[in-house]
């Protein structure tokens, strides 16, 4: 049983590594998309790749939900497909509820930040000639930075 447990953990580690790799590639693919489209697509793929479902309740063995669904529908064996779809739906619902909460918190904060930036930007309506005239009047620094220069003697 010890060897089986190690194989089980090794298989989950390999799947987790591959799923994170696929998730990183998906993040890279969705980078140029609009934010309101990019974040839900990333969330959907994360839920599909990272949600487990129980295969054998007696031994508490889990497997990826998407793999169980695909294999049960493809080979028409077992009745775990409906359980896996239900788990996917439940995890998806929880993930989207948390995402909606995050957006509800983030949206007013970002709007307030945008308003502050818009107020901070002070547009100068003067013409170039007026700016140059004002710059000539405001000369506080001497034209020569260092009035005396000392050179070393050899």
- Per the structure, the count of domains in the chain is 1
Whether 147 maps to a domain, the answer reads no
Q: Taking residues 127-144, what's their average pLDDT?
A: 69
pLDDT tens readout for residues 28-77: 999 999 999 999 999 999 999 999 998 887 888 888 999 899 988 898 88
Cβ 33 vs Cβ 41: under 8 Å: yes
Q: What pTM, to 2 d.p., does this model score?
A: 0.70
Which pLDDT value is given to residue 44? 96
pLDDT over threshold 70, residue 121: no
Whether 128 maps to a domain, the answer reads no
Whether 126 maps to a domain, the answer reads no
Whether 101 maps to a domain, the answer reads yes
Which pLDDT value is given to residue 149? 65
pLDDT tens readout for residues 74-112: 988 877 888 899 999 999 999 999 999 999 999 999 999
Whether 137 maps to a domain, the answer reads no
Whether 141 maps to a domain, the answer reads no
User: How many CB atoms are located within 10 Å of the residue 53 CB?
Assistant: 22
Whether 91 maps to a domain, the answer reads yes
List Cβ neighbours of 104 (8 Å cut-off, separation of 6 or more).
none
Q: Which residue range forms the structural domain that includes residue 87?
A: 2-120
Whether 17 maps to a domain, the answer reads yes
Q: Taking residues 108-120, what's their average pLDDT?
A: 88
pLDDT over threshold 80, residue 126: no
Task: Between 4 and 120, name the one with better pLDDT.
Answer: 120
């Amino acid at each position: 049983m010890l060897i089986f447990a190690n194989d089980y953990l090794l298989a989950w580690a390999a799947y987790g590594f591959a799923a994170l790799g696929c998730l990183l590639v998906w993040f890279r693919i969705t980078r140029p998309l609009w934010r309101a489209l990019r974040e839900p697509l990333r969330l959907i793929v994360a839920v599909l790749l990272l949600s487990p479902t129980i295969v054998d309740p007696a031994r508490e063995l889990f497997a990826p939900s998407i793999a169980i669904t695909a294999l049960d529908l493809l080979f028409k064996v077992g009745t775990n497909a409906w359980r896996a779809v239900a788990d996917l739906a439940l995890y998806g619902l929880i993930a989207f509820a948390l995402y909606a909460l995050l957006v509800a918190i983030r949206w007013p904060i970002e709007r307030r930040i945008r308003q502050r930036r818009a107020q901070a930007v002070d547009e100068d309506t003067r013409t170039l000639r007026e700016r140059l005239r004002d710059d000539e009047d405001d000369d506080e620094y001497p034209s020569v930075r260092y009035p005396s220069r000392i050179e070393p003697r050899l």
